[in-house]
Structure 1
Amino acid sequence: MLEALALLQKYWKHDKFRSLQNEIIASVLSGQDTFALMPTGGGKSVCFQIPALMNDGICLVVSPLVALMKDQVANLQQRNIKAIALTGGIRSEEMIDLLDNCQFGNYKFLYLSPERLQSDWILERIKSLPINLITIDEAHCVSQWGHDFRPAYLKISLLKKHFPKTPFLALTATATPRVKTDIITELGLHNPQIFEKSFARENIAYMVFELEDKIFRIEQILKKNPEPSIIYVRNRKSCLDISSQLQSLGFKATYYHGGLSSKEKDKNMQSWMNEDVQIIVATNAFGMGIDKANVKTVIHIQLPENIENYYQEAGRAGRNGERAFAILLTSPSDIIQAKNQFINILPDKKFLNLMYLKLNNYFQVAYGEGINEQFTFNLHHFCLRYEFPTLKTYNALQFLDRQGIITLSQEFSEKITLQFLIPSKEVIRYVSLNVNDEEIILAILRTYPGIYEMQTAFNLQLIAKKSNHKEAEILAVLKKLKEKEIIEYHSKNNDATILFNEVREDERTISRVSKHLENQNLLKKEQLQAVYHYINERAICKNKLILNYFGEKIITDCGICSFCITKKIKKKDVTLLSKEIITLLKIEDLNSRDIQNKTKNNPEDVIFVLQELLENDFILVKPNNKYTLKS
């Protein structure tokens, strides 16, 4: 394993492997099928990247996440390691070029989605590649009981027939015992070596606080812990609102959500990574590939959809091993809101049928047609036209995406189309007089031979690569050509694109996947119940609750979570504080902040005693979130 360590030092600048990485790499190098459960921050990517670099050939990486694929390819390329990703929206000609590069260009990594393996010609091309390892990332997607089931993952096992001697490595960060069994069975892993890292994060204090004034509590937490922090919210509007409120309180804060352009995302993320700002307020679009070691606090101000997502997001705290906090702030109305957010907006078969029918009509796709057609898409406009509820429609589209029926790209993008307006001989004359523009113009003409006849969709990244110029340089040339009326050039920003992966068959299409829809809806309800249990259970250590969910049974309490802290309050102190609160409430109704200020006690103690008084029917919470004595 000296060679493996040398590669780790050379490319990743680390002197030693993290827990289990060494063992997983050794298993893969021995040619053994391997299953690895490594919670977030465990360093899964190194487990397949190191052995792939040590062997001749190329590593095939199957992943459902476009953003993660792009991130990993960019990271490998920065280390001068040749890697390619076959993501959505790539034309067939480009795909052929990329696969040619894999075959003849000494590439080490090929990333693709499981849906790509359903294309026969792509599978045939892959079969001819010198594959040295097949890595299945986010392997829980193969299980109907995983939190992001994708039927296309079930086809991955077919690769076993074509590569019987190539080891499979299945990786996941979150899997219950039932999902783990499914992964091994459905992928056809042969006598796999199994490595499971504990979900325990001993340095993270899991805190749950029920209160009415969340901003006030966030202000207290961030002043007490001025290190880098993440605040997770449910939607884009909350990102802006919470970020603005924190700035008005004197904090340096920025925000991150899926509706930002790539440039804005990078700018905001870097200002947080470089610690120009303390706080980033984000939706769950933020986090993939983020590995900032000194995050002190991760705060959720709304209930998460499931424990799996919560664990991953909370686990971005404390990766340097120092004490960190994962804090979930709840209020009595959150459970109702969560039900509205996650359960009431689940599409049933009837709605899915109708939405799919209207989606095809919206783009004028005829029955029996539509495969590989791509369209720009505005969800708001679509929902307005057909009077569909937005969230239910979005969930229906996401379900169709996971089933591989469509590909929904939510990457903020700039669509460029252009056409040459002057004859080819005049273009050649222009090139001879403007030699600095020659490489770019010739790359365009070679790539798009029909560009004289019609407006042609233009791939900026591809031309940048082929002409060996920066994207900004190409845009400058296009601007100049437009000003000289040599080309007609249009640029339009899109919120999303939809690619149809199958021909339109209406109810037949939906009937084929409706069983999966029923299972997924049932699973989502069970998962939300587990979240309710996590926040409402006041007699068990929070760390225990999380570990139990993932099948780990422990006896000892963590000693640092919100439950364990309240246990440390002396009975005498509880009795005194209870009497003090009752005395105050005899005079007037108060909210928890008022009680905290008047009693000069810390927030945790006040919340604990208020909960005790509520449970024992001494007090009530009024609709205005003030506590009052029960008459």
Structure 2
Amino acid sequence: MSAPTEDILSVLRQHWGHRAFRPGQEDIIRSVLAGHDTLALLPTGGGKSVCFQVPALAREGLCLVISPLIALMKDQVENLRKRGIKAEAVYAGMSHRDIDQTLDNCVYGPVKFLYVSPERLLTDMFRARAPKMRIQLIAVDEAHCLSQWGYDFRPPYLQISALRELLPGVPVLALTATATEEVRRDIREKLNFGATGQTFQRSFQRPNLSYSVLETEDKLQRLLQVLKGVGPGKTAVVYARTRKATETAAAWLQQHGLSAAAYHAGLPADQRTRVQQEWTSDKTRIVVATNAFGMGIDKPDVRCVVHLDAPDSLEAYYQEAGRAGRDELYAFAVLLWAPNDADEMRRRVLTSHPPLDVVRRVYQALANYSGTAVGGGELVAFDFDLGAFASTYRLKPLDVHNALRTLEKAGLVQLNEAVFSPAKVFIPIDARDLYRFQVANERHDQLIKAILRFYGGEVFSGFKNISEGQLSQALRWSTTDVRKTLEFLHKSGIVQYQPRHDAPQVLFTTPRHDAARLPLDARALDAARERDQLKTEAVIRYAAGTRCRQQLLLEYFGELDSAPCGICDHCLAEKRRQQPPVVATDLREQILTQLRTAPLTPRELLSGFAPAQADALKALLRDLVDTGQLRYTTGGQLAVA
């Protein structure tokens, strides 16, 4: 039975401080509370997590959340804990003991949310615990990963249907920001939606977001013009395809006086954290990042998202561009497009599907690199340095990257980008045995006492995050000595110690195969390549489009009857074409003449013209800024460039 409106609103107010739901959220929550299998399509920033967190908190029991993104999973767990809500996560890289303890907490403790990566669902450990948990809802985040027609298909997601057999009667909420009709049908089918299954979809239309494609042979120069045109102090995200490109672009912007920083998985964890925090708190205006940046970050006032390189699909572009203007105020989504970009995208699709002999060679090299025998290694993560790996086995780094993605899409391996995990300690022996050890080992006694002083009795009940730096300062030891002593205590069985970790990892998602007999379906791989080619062509058509950009995006997602948006580059150009050329020329000269005298704010400038000219003036000002004839001063005034 569904909860009364006041009940779910009180949950929202209590934990999030919001007085009302965003559009679409309440209908989705009511469907879930009524026990229906539910597919929810909400645009980026539409508040997907609230759609499973509120109904879970409104009822007894635990919500199982399936997500492929470890960094996002950890962020959500941390955010829930900050709100006083018990949450746990199980993902690649955790020790057997840590997973065991976490699952026990979900069976016997007051845990409300358990986040799990999909490859963990049908392990023996999870299958044994899941029926003992009071699971009241299964939430499937990034549900497009279920569909082979989607842009990010992940075979482990197909295990969710088997999980449903373990948990009969538990409803499923599938969530995604982007899905074509074909993908929506596939999600419902793969999740075995019941007869009462419901689908809720907000329009993909973003009335406040101005889409533009700017053709240029000098992307960095055009990027500078765009960001200066947005205005001083405004927050922006710039997406680039490679780590090197993020650093090059960030340095270029800094050289030209803009507050910018690079962000990618190759940076140390503390630097990534600092860049993100300084951008979120407006100390840094612009982040130049690879595509993972922005997921789960709730910053509504991003005024501009610029793509230096087009993503491989319109689904990805819509999600990333949609991080602009989540406060529903006017914002820009700009794709920079060079003359050779279409050819480069087509070439990239072909190289991203390497020959089978290369894939097999990389798989065998992974087995050698990790020391994994045939039949072993399932779900055991190992640190992975792509450069060192490629050099050791005389492979091209690009071949390694593409072969790993092929193996990942086939459900044979999983590659996790660097995710920071602090050092952890658990004391598995009882206090009396620990005391006897301390009496007999004075130096080790000092470290144990420091651990107990800082972290208390919780270290006896489960893994506890520790700071090796804090311990070294308290003991006046070097951090190296702290780590060596912890490693000794670990080998002695006195503590279980997991060192701080911040490196990419790979794991075999199945028992390791003989590389010569890899279960790879050549026809399925050919079909995947063809699907990727179709998605690439859709991006190229969008970039070359000669009508409303938003209409092109909406039609891709099945919305065929939308009106022109009126604010994209094509719509604005059409408005300018409809203006009498003499009037437009006259206005341009009047604007330039006024601004040559003194800089003015847009409002001051517009006040000197008739109200009927406002729309034409605004379009003209945007055009003059975009073409570099006008610029914004640090005080927010317009001046002749």
TM value normalised by structure 1: 0.82
Q: Which residue of 2 aligns with 1:158?
A: 162
2:145 corresponds to: 141
Alignment of 1:169-568 (within 5 A): 169-191=173-195, 192-226=197-231, 227-411=234-418, 413=420, 424=437, 428-430=441-443, 436-437=449-450, 439=452, 463-465=463-465, 470=467, 472-474=469-471, 476=473, 480=477, 483=481, 487=485, 495-507=503-515, 510-512=518-520, 514-538=522-546, 540-568=547-575
Check the 8 A contact 2:444/2:485 in 1, yes or no.
no
**Separation (CA, whole Å) in 2 of partners of 1:63 and 1:401:** 16
Deviation at 1:464? Answer: 3.4
Measured in 2, the distance between the counterparts of 1:59 and 1:208 equals: 42
Letter in 1 for 2:352: I
User: Which residue of structure 2 aligns with residue 47 of structure 1?
Assistant: 51
1:559-583 CA-to-partner distances (Å, cap 9, x unmatched) read: 1111111112237649999xxxxxx
How far apart, CA to CA, are the structure 2 residues paired with 1:396 and 1:57? 42
2:606 alignment counterpart: none
Q: Which amino acid aligns with 1:138?
A: E
Deviations 1:429-464 (A, max 9, x none): 44667784252799999889xxxxxxxxxxxxx753
- Structure 2 unaligned residues grouped into runs of 5+: 426-435, 489-498, 586-619, 628-641
Classify 1:568/1:96 alpha carbon distance in 2 versus 1 (closer, same or farther; 3 Å).
same
Q: Which moved more, 1:438-447 or 1:240-249?
A: 438-447
Corresponding residue of 2:608: none
Deviation of 1:350 after TM superposition, in Å, equals 2.6
Equivalent pairs counted in the alignment come to: 564
Does the 8 A contact of 2:468 with 2:483 survive in 1? no
Instruction: Give the drift of 1:550.
Output: 0.6
Q: C-alpha deviations, 1:113-158, integer Å up to 9, x for none?
A: 1111121231121111100111111111111111111122112112
Partner-residue secondary structure (3-state), 1:43: coil
The amino acid across from 1:499 in the alignment is: L
Q: Secondary structure at the match of 1:275?
A: coil
- The question of whether the paired residues in 2 share the 8 Å contact of 1:440 and 1:463 is answered with no
User: Is structure 2 residue 110 aligned with structure 1 residue 102?
Assistant: no
Pairing 1:60-79 to 2, within 5 Å after superposition: 60-79=64-83
Letter in 1 for 2:70: V
Partner Cα separation in structure 2 for residue 354 and residue 430 of structure 1:
49
Q: What is the rounded CA distance, in whole Å, between the counterparts of 1:165 and 1:175 in structure 2?
A: 26
**Cα pair 1:209 1:607 within 8 Å, conserved:** no
- Is the CA contact (8 Å cut-off) linking 2:230 and 2:304 kept in structure 1? yes
SS of match in other structure, 1:487: helix
User: Aligned AA for 1:89?
Assistant: G
**Counterpart amino acid of 2:554?**
L
d(CA) in 2 for partners of 1:165, 1:265:
42
Matched residue of 1:568: which SS? helix
Amino acid at match of 2:328: G
State how far apart, in whole Å, the 1-side matches of 2:351 and 2:446 are. Answer: 64
Q: 3-state DSSP class of the match of 2:175? A: strand
What displacement does 1:194 show? 1.1
**8 Å Cα contact 1:152/1:403 also seen in 2:** no
Equivalent AA in structure 2 for residue 473 of structure 1: Q
Change (3 A) 1:347 1:566: same
SS in 1 for 2:121: helix
Structure 1 residue 530: Cα displacement: 0.5
The answer to which of 437-446 and 308-317 deviates more is 437-446
**TM superposition score normalised by structure 2:** 0.81
Structure 1 residue 402, shift from structure 2 partner: 4.4
Distance 1:293 1:495 in 2: 30
Structure 1 residues 348 and 607, CA gap change in structure 2 (3 angstroms): farther
Return the alpha-carbon distance in structure 2 between the equivalents of residues 345 and 485 of structure 1.
Answer: 41
> Match of 2:221, as an amino acid?
F
- What is the alpha-carbon root mean square deviation over aligned residues? 3.2
Paired with 2:412 and 2:448, the residues of 1 have a C-alpha distance of: 47
Name whichever of 37-46 and 400-409 sits farther off.
Answer: 400-409
Q: Any conservation in 2 of the 1:440–1:474 contact (CA below 8 Å)? A: no
Question: Structure 1 residues 133, 574: CA separation in 2 closer, same or farther (over 3 Å shift)?
Answer: farther
Report the Cα distance in structure 1 between the residues aligned to 2:438 and 2:81, rounded to whole angstroms.
39
Distance 1:606 1:135 in 2: 45
Q: Which residue of 1 aligns with 2:631?
A: none
User: 1:152, 1:434 → 2: CA distance?
Assistant: 42
- Does the alignment pair 1:116 with 2:134? no
**Secondary structure at 2:464 match in 1:** helix
**Amino acid in the other structure paired with 2:188:** I
Asked if 1 retains the 8 angstrom alpha-carbon contact of 2:205 and 2:550, the reply is: yes
CA gap of 1:82–1:425, structure 2 versus 1, over 3 A, is closer
Aligned letter for 1:283?
T
What is the identity, as a one-letter code, of the residue corresponding to 2:207?
E
Distance 1:147 1:255 in 2: 26
- CA spacing shift, 1:343–1:12, aligned 2, 3 Å: farther
CA contact (8 A) 1:257 1:282 kept: yes
Deviation at 1:265, TM superposition (A): 1.2
Residue in structure 1 matched with residue 595 of structure 2 by the alignment: none
Q: Distance in 2 between matches of 1:475 and 1:278?
A: 36
Per the TM alignment, residue 161 of structure 1 is displaced from its structure 2 partner at its CA by: 2.1
CA contact (8 A) 1:346 1:392 kept: no
Alpha-carbon shift at residue 262 of structure 1 (Å): 2.2
C-alpha change, 1:121 and 1:515, in structure 2 (3 Å) is farther
1:244 to 1:520, Cα distance in 2 relative to 1, 3 A: same
What corresponds to 1:7 in structure 2?
11
Q: For 2:40, what is the secondary structure of its paired residue?
A: strand
1:343·1:524 contact (CA, 8 Å) conserved in 2? no
Q: Distance in 2 between matches of 1:130 and 1:431?
A: 42
Q: What is the rounded CA distance, in whole Å, between the counterparts of 1:487 and 1:555 in structure 2? A: 66
Instruction: Report the AA paired with residue 304 of structure 2.
Output: T
Question: CA separation of 1:345/1:161 partners in 2, compared to 1, >3 Å: closer, same or farther?
Answer: closer
Measured in 2, the distance between the counterparts of 1:82 and 1:484 equals: 31
Alpha-carbon offset, residue 504 of structure 1: 2.3
Contact preservation (8 Å) 1:63, 1:114: yes
Q: Is residue 2:94 matched to residue 1:90? A: yes
**Partner SS state of residue 302, structure 2:** coil
Amino acid in structure 1 at the alignment position of 2:464 = A
Q: State the one-letter code of the partner of 2:537.
A: Q
CA 1:32 to 1:434, structure 2 compared with 1: closer, same or farther past 3 Å? closer
The equivalent of 2:609 in structure 1 is none
Q: Which moved more, 1:46-55 or 1:250-259?
A: 250-259
Aligned counterparts of 1:516 and 1:444: Cα–Cα separation in 2: 53
Q: Percent identity?
A: 38
